[in-house]
């Protein structure tokens, strides 16, 4: 098993498009990067289905396949991978100190944070305890279990539209519950949803309560315009209401906006020299695989230039 050196040159946290692109560039610059991936190697793209807008794939590509290819590409140039949870990052002095969940720690001259973002949940009672028992934030992971059943997707953005469309492969009916009377999703995705006979729109509505104890048996829905309640008989609820950045590790060390996104300047630099942030961790506007990959590339170049200037 690969272990970190006591002093690494470039350490990358996260293995989505940003982290893997940073790894490819740093490895090709002969910086022998160490990439630490956490619970979801490959990042959010491994929970999507087909990616149709990544340049170079005329017919689209499956998210997991794309991430697998990027991993092999990073490996080919000498990236070392370890799977661990980072419990602490000390950015107060250089080299930075990284502590892992098995208690080991090591130092690194530069650090590239590409820890991405995670799905948000509604925050209503029983939601967390019913994850895996009817509640999910990943259609690709769990859609299979709802063959011929009636299910609901919550949200009105591209993720909700994509998940609802994907779920029609399995489900009998997909109710798309949105809190307004207009979708936020792109026109192309909207058309797909609105023209799919298996998707039924539930406009101006919010989930008030999840019905069922050991498993989901229905949802109590509130119409936000009329304040009327209705019961929807569904066995699954897929939450697709956006994401929050995985930035807790860096709280107090760098500047963040009110939502927790790391603030970068001049490319991917933070206020700590030698520490760079890329991908969804610092981008709440574009949040695309291709933009994440672009900022990953920038982080590796920023780290390389920093190391060159340090070594004079």
| Per CB under 6 A, 209 contacts ligand NDP | no
d(CA 112, CA 303): 8
- Supply the DSSP symbol for 263: P
Residue 91 CA neighbour count, 13 Å, CB half: 21
CA Rg value for the chain: 21
**Is 142 labeled as catalytic in the residue annotation?**
yes
Catalytic residue, candidates 30, 90, 101, 141: 141
- Say which residue the tokens 């315009």 belong to: 225
d(CA 78, CA 4): 14
| Per CB under 6 A, 176 contacts ligand NDP | no
d(CA 224, CA 23): 47
Work out which of 18, 66, 160, 300 binds ligand NDP, going by CB under 6 A: 160
User: To the nearest whole angstrom, how small is the minimum distance from the Cβ of residue 8 to ligand NDP?
Assistant: 32
**Is 141 labeled as catalytic in the residue annotation?**
yes
| Per CB under 6 A, 242 contacts ligand NDP | yes
35 versus 292: smaller Cβ distance to ligand NDP: 292
d(CA 200, CA 202): 7
| Per CB under 6 A, 287 contacts ligand NDP | yes
Residues 218/195, Cβ–Cβ less than 8 Å: no
35 versus 237: smaller Cβ distance to ligand NDP: 237
8 versus 162: smaller Cβ distance to ligand NDP: 162
| Per CB under 6 A, 164 contacts ligand NDP | no
**Hey, which residues between 96 and 135 contact ligand NDP (CB under 6 A)?**
122
Burial of residue 147, with CB atoms counted within 10 A of its CB: 0-12 exposed, 13-18 middle, 19 or more buried: exposed
**Is 257 labeled as catalytic in the residue annotation?**
no
Residues that bind ligand NDP (CB under 6 A): 53, 122, 154-160, 162, 179-180, 184, 241-243, 287
Q: Catalytic positions, please? A: 138, 141-142
């Amino acid at each position: 098993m690969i272990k970190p050196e006591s002093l690494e040159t470039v350490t990358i946290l996260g293995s989505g498009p940003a982290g893997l692109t940073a790894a490819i560039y740093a490895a090709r610059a002969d910086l022998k990067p160490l990439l630490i991936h956490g619970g979801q190697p490959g990042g959010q793209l491994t929970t999507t289905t087909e990616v149709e807008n990544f340049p170079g794939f005329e017919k689209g590509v499956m998210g997991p396949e794309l991430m697998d290819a990027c991993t092999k590409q990073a490996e080919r140039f000498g990236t070392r991978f370890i799977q661990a949870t980072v419990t602490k990052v000390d950015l107060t002095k250089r080299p930075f100190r990284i502590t892992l969940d098995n208690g080991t720690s090591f130092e690194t001259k530069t650090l590239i944070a590409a820890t991405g973002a995670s799905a948000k949940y509604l925050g209503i009672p029983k939601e967390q305890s019913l994850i895996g028992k009817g509640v999910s934030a990943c259609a690709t992971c769990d859609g299979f279990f709802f063959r011929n059943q009636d299910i609901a997707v919550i949200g009105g953005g591209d993720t909700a539209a994509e998940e609802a469309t994907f779920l029609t492969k399995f489900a009998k009916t997909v109710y798309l519950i949105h809190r307004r009377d207009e979708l936020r999703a792109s026109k192309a995705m909207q058309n797909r949803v609105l023209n799919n006979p298996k998707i039924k729109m539930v406009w101006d509505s919010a989930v008030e309560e999840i019905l069922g104890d050991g498993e989901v048996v229905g949802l109590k829905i509130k119409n936000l315009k009329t304040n009327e309640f209705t019961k929807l008989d569904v066995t699954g609820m897929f939450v697709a209401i956006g994401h929050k950045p995985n930035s807790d590790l860096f709280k107090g060390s760098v500047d963040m906006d009110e939502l927790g996104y790391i603030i970068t300047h001049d490319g991917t630099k933070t206020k700590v020299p030698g520490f760079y942030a890329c991908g969804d961790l610092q981008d709440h506007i574009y949040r695309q695989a291709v933009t994440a990959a672009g900022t990953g590339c920038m982080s590796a170049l920023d780290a390389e230039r920093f190391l060159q200037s340090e070594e004079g």
